[in-house]
Chains A and B, each alone.
Chain A
Amino acid sequence: MATHLIVVEHSAGKLVKATLAAVAAAQKVGGDIYAVVLGQGVAGVAAEIAPYVKKVQVGEHEGLKDRLAQPWAKVIADAATGAGITHVWGAATGAGKDLLPRVAARLNAGMASDISAVVDDRTFKRPMWAGNITGTVEITTAKKVVSVRPTEFTPPAPGAAGEIGSIDVDPGVSKMSWVKFDAVVSDRPALSDARVVVSGGRGLKGPEGFKTIIEPLADALGAAIGASRAVCDAGWVPNDWQVGQTGKVVAPELYIAVGISGAIQHVAGMKGSKCIVAINKEPEAPIFQIADYGLVADLFKVVPELTAAIKASRG
Chain B
Amino acid sequence: MKFLVTVKRVTDYEAKIKLKADKSGIVTDGVNMIMNPFDEIGVEEALRQKEKHGGEVVVVTLGTTDAVAQLRSALAMGADRAILVRSDAALDSFAVAQVLAKVVEKEKPDVVLMGKQAIDDDSNQASQILAELLGWGQATFANTINIDGRTATVVREADGGLETVSTTLPAVISTDLRLNEPRYASLPGIMKAKKKPLEEVDIATLGVDLAPKVKLIGFEEPAAKKAGQKVADVATLLEKLKTEAKVL
Q: Chain A interface (Cβ within 8 Å of chain B)?
A: 11, 16, 68-70, 73, 93-95, 97-102, 104-106, 109-114, 123, 126-141, 174-184, 190, 192, 196, 229, 232-233, 239-240, 242, 245-246, 253-254, 264-265, 271, 274-277, 288-297, 302, 305-306, 309-310, 313
**Smallest CB separation, B164 vs chain A (Å):** 4
Given A113-B122, A294-B229, A309-B234: A137 and B217 interface contact (C-beta under 8 Å) = yes
Given contacts A137-B214, A179-B153, 15 further A-B contacts (CB under 8 A): A110-B214, A113-B123, A123-B217, A132-B221, A132-B222, A135-B121, A135-B219, A138-B217, A233-B177, A240-B159, A277-B241, A288-B228, A292-B228, A294-B230, A313-B238
Count of inter-chain pairs, beta carbons less than 8 A: 252
Which A-B residue pairs are the 8 nearest by beta carbons? A110-B213, A175-B137, A136-B218, A105-B132, A101-B128, A179-B164, A101-B125, A183-B161
CA A206 to CA B169, docked complex, whole Å: 40
A134 touches B124 (CB 8 A): no
A104 touches B233 (CB 8 A): no
B228 touches A291 (CB 8 A): yes
B164 touches A181 (CB 8 A): yes
Choose one: A105, A133, A297; the contact of B221 (CB below 8 Å).
A133
**Smallest CB separation, A77 vs chain B (Å):** 9
**Smallest CB separation, A88 vs chain B (Å):** 14
CA A69 to CA B129, docked complex, whole Å: 11
B93 touches A101 (CB 8 A): yes
User: Using Cβ atoms and an 8 Å threshold, which residues of chain B touch A131?
Assistant: 222
Choose one: B143, B158, B217; the contact of A181 (CB below 8 Å).
B158
A296 touches B166 (CB 8 A): no
A138 touches B214 (CB 8 A): yes
Nearest opposing residue in chain B for A185, CB measure: B161
Given A69-B140, A98-B128, A106-B132: A140 and B215 interface contact (C-beta under 8 Å) = yes
Q: Which of B11-19, B77-85, B103-111 contacts A (4 or more CB under 8 A)?
A: B11-19
A98 touches B233 (CB 8 A): no
Choose one: A177, A192, A242, A295; the contact of B165 (CB below 8 Å).
A177
**Smallest CB separation, B39 vs chain A (Å):** 13
A133 touches B219 (CB 8 A): yes
Task: Tell me, yes or no, whether B26 is within 8 Å of chain A by CB.
Answer: yes
A129 touches B158 (CB 8 A): no
CA A297 to CA B177, docked complex, whole Å: 31
Q: Chain B interface (Cβ within 8 Å of chain A)?
A: 11, 13-14, 16-17, 19, 26, 38, 92-94, 97, 116-117, 119-126, 128-129, 131-133, 135-141, 143, 153, 156-168, 171, 176-178, 211-222, 225, 227-231, 233-235, 237-238, 240-241, 245, 247-248
Choose one: B133, B178, B234; the contact of A233 (CB below 8 Å).
B178
Given A134-B219, A293-B240: A275 and B247 interface contact (C-beta under 8 Å) = yes
CA A224 to CA B138, docked complex, whole Å: 31
User: Using Cβ atoms and an 8 Å threshold, which residues of chain B touch A95?
Assistant: 158-159
Nearest opposing residue in chain B for A94, CB measure: B159
Nearest opposing residue in chain B for A103, CB measure: B132
A–B pairs, 30, beta carbons within 8 Å = A69-B140, A70-B138, A97-B140, A101-B125, A102-B128, A102-B138, A106-B132, A111-B93, A111-B214, A112-B214, A127-B122, A130-B17, A133-B19, A133-B219, A133-B221, A137-B216, A175-B167, A177-B166, A178-B164, A179-B153, A182-B163, A229-B177, A233-B178, A240-B161, A254-B248, A265-B119, A271-B225, A289-B227, A291-B228, A294-B230
Of the listed residues B94, B116, B247, the one surrounded by the most CB atoms of chain A closer than 10 A to its CB is B247
User: Using Cβ atoms and an 8 Å threshold, which residues of chain A touch B233?
Assistant: 295, 297, 302
Choose one: B97, B166, B230, B241; the contact of A179 (CB below 8 Å).
B166
**Smallest CB separation, B52 vs chain A (Å):** 20
B136 touches A293 (CB 8 A): no
User: Using Cβ atoms and an 8 Å threshold, which residues of chain B touch A190?
Assistant: 160
B167 touches A288 (CB 8 A): no
Nearest opposing residue in chain B for A271, CB measure: B225
User: Using Cβ atoms and an 8 Å threshold, which residues of chain A touch B153?
Assistant: 179
Nearest opposing residue in chain B for A283, CB measure: B230
Choose one: A104, A127, A192, A246; the contact of B125 (CB below 8 Å).
A104
B248 touches A292 (CB 8 A): no
CA A309 to CA B241, docked complex, whole Å: 13
B128 touches A129 (CB 8 A): no
B132 touches A102 (CB 8 A): yes
B248 touches A277 (CB 8 A): no
CA A41 to CA B76, docked complex, whole Å: 52
B230 touches A295 (CB 8 A): yes
Choose one: B19, B161, B165, B230; the contact of A178 (CB below 8 Å).
B165
CA A294 to CA B233, docked complex, whole Å: 10
CA A243 to CA B198, docked complex, whole Å: 38
A140 touches B238 (CB 8 A): no
